[in-house]
Structures are given as C-alpha cells and as structure tokens.
Amino acid sequence: MRNDSGEVVSILGVTRDISERKRSDAALKESEEKYRILVEHSSDLIWSLDSTGCFTYASPSWERITGYSPSVIIGANFNSIVHPDDLQICTDSINNAVHLKKMQSSTVYRIKHADGSWHIHEATGTPVFGPDGVSNSIVGFSRDITESREAEEKIQNLLKDKELILKEVHHRVKNNMSTILNLLTLQLDMQDNPHTKGVLFDAAGRVQSMMILYDKLYRSDSESVLSLKDYFTALVGEIIGLFPGKESLKLKLNIDDFMLSTKVLSPLGIIINELITNSMKYAFPDYSNAMISLTVSMKENRVQIIFRDNGRGLPESVSFENSTGFGMQLISMLTSQIGGQISIEREGGTGFIIEFNV
C-alpha cells in the first residue's frame, strides 16, 4: 500500500496452505510412476483400441514379445495382424464389450508376429465410457499362450498313446488268461481224481473272473474304473454257466450301477467267484429248487454286498477264523485287502455280507 506521496508503506497479501495439494500431487506422480513401470515391464501386451478397431496405445512389451515396436502398432487396425480365420472371434468380442458394456475375457485368437510366425494369444478387454455413457474405446491385455497350448496338446497326445497302450495290454492279458483257462479246462477233462478235478475247476473259475475284468477294461473308455453292475452281471452269468443243470437255478440280481476302481473290482471278482462256486458245488443236492441272490448297494461311499443261497447251510463249525479250506481263506484275505469286513448268516441257507468304504 502507498501513502499520498506514492511511497510503499505496507504490503497486503493473501496466503493459502497448499501442503495437501502438494502431497496429493506427489502421491499422484508416484502412483503414475508405479503404473508406468508396471506397464513398461509387464510380460503381457497392454493395448487400447478406438471405435474403429485401431490401436491407440501399445505397451513397450509389444516389441519384446511380438517384434513390433509400439510405434508400428499404434494407428494400425487389429485386423492387420489377426489371423483371417479368427477375425470374427475378435470382432464379436469387441462388439460384445461395447454393446453389453462389460469385460470380455478369455478371447483366444492367432496373431502374426514380426518374424511372420503365427502365435496363439488370449486377451481380456474392458470398454471405456465417456461422460455421455457411450463407449468409444477398449483397453485390455493379452498374452502369448502358444507354448502352453502346444504343451497341452502334447500331453493330450501322450494320454491318448497311453490309453492305446493300456488297451493293448488289457487285450493281451485277457488273451493270455484265455489260454490259461483253456489249458486248465483241458487238464480238468483229462483227470479222473475228484479232488484234482475240483482244484482245477476252482482255479479255472478264478482265472475266468480276472479274464472278464480285463475284457471289460479292453472294451471300456476308461482303463482305471468300471461299472460294477456291468462287471458283476457278466461275471455271475459266466460262473454259473460252468455248471451242468444250471437252467433250473433261480438267480436274483439287484445291483446298483456305480463305478469302482479296478484295484477294488479285481479282488471283488475273485470273492464273488468263490462264493458262487461254493454254493453251486456244496449248497444244493440238485438245482430244482435252488436260488442264489446277489444284492449290491452303495450309500454315502460305503458299499454293501449281500450274497445268499437257500441251500443246506454252512455248519456252525465253519468260519473264516478256523477254516482250513483255501476258498474261505482267500475270501477273508481279499476282503481285508480292500479294507472291508465280512460276516456270515446261517438262517434259511447261507449268506455273506461284505462292507467296505470307497
């Protein structure tokens, strides 16, 4: 301020505290620097497209990954580098982002790199809206997934080769078992000793149960699991078919259809063979009023198998603990092998109940 003589006698001023603004500016600058570093050193391709499909931004990673410098990409239309067969996929993804107003992810397409090679890329894009709510650009990122796709394809081819090899192994094992079964049957027909014939007959039945399993594996789409219903139905029919006069036998099957591992099915098949064979050989004086039933169910990952016959019954003196017969010992051993428990019921014939968890 000046006096009447024009001399400055005082100064009037206004001050404002801009500390907060300075801190905000510094924080903004730091944030921008962080994002700049992230973008420039990203292993992904970061880009933006305008409404015509032309690139308006390309991160420095473009040159490192595709061989194109950002200056070459910016201004170019995306269809100049996208494979002709994939143009529709990319166009649809862009249109969906704009019109549906939401992010589009996992768009897979091929682009030509600067060296002329085609690479598989996967992109995610998000529309950017102006003040009027209209989208006029899309920002996104993409990555080269060629190596991972080739690795996946290689793994799938190896798995197919493995399946073919396993099927061939199952087929050959089945054929070898068939040869063994034929040899046992031939030897059985040549024997006069009842005990020897019985041993050979039992052995043939055990081989047959495994042969049926491998036959099912050979015909199955899976080499590790099978339908228990399909396996047991075929197995029971084959075992009973070995005995003369089986036409008079009444057979009741009530088997739930579920899948089990072959590691479990193999011992189960031998167990069922032993139970049926014992009933057919020892339970009935003849088959005129004979009945065999097999019930299998699974509840809450626990399987229950109930086998019954209406034959003469099993003496009280015979149990898994004191039996000297190989068949009973084999059943007990295989039940333990699958982590199960087995019990005997003696009313109205003989029944066996097997339970185990899967």
pLDDT tens digits along 304-343: 999 999 998 888 888 887 777 778 888 898 999 999 999 9
DSSP 2: B
Give yes or no for residue 176 having a pLDDT over 90: no
pLDDT at 215 exceeding the cut of 60: yes
Which CATH class, in words, describes the domain spanning 22-144? alpha beta
Task: Classify residue 68 by burial, with Cβ atoms within 10 Å: 0-12, 13-18, 19+.
Answer: buried
State what percent of residues in the chain have pLDDT above 70. 87
Higher pLDDT: 87 or 163? It is 87
User: What stretches of the chain show up as alpha helix (H) in DSSP?
Assistant: 19-40, 61-66, 70-73, 87-99, 146-189, 194-219, 228-240, 262-278, 326-337
Q: What is the mean pLDDT of the chain?
A: 83
Query: Which residue ranges does the chain devote to CATH 3.30.565.10?
Result: 246-259+278-358
The one-letter amino acid at 319? S
Q: Please, where in the chain does CATH 3.30.450.20 lie?
A: 22-144
The pLDDT score that the predictor gives to residue 163 is 67
For residue 95, is pLDDT > 90?
no
What is the pLDDT, as a whole number, of residue 97? 83
Cα distance between residue 74 and residue 99, in whole Å: 24
pLDDT band at 110 (very low <50, low <70, confident <90, very high): very high
Give per-residue pLDDT as tens, 23-80. 776 666 765 565 565 556 667 898 889 888 899 999 888 898 899 999 999 999 999 9
pLDDT at 276 over 60: yes
Q: Which CATH class is domain 246-259+278-358?
A: alpha beta
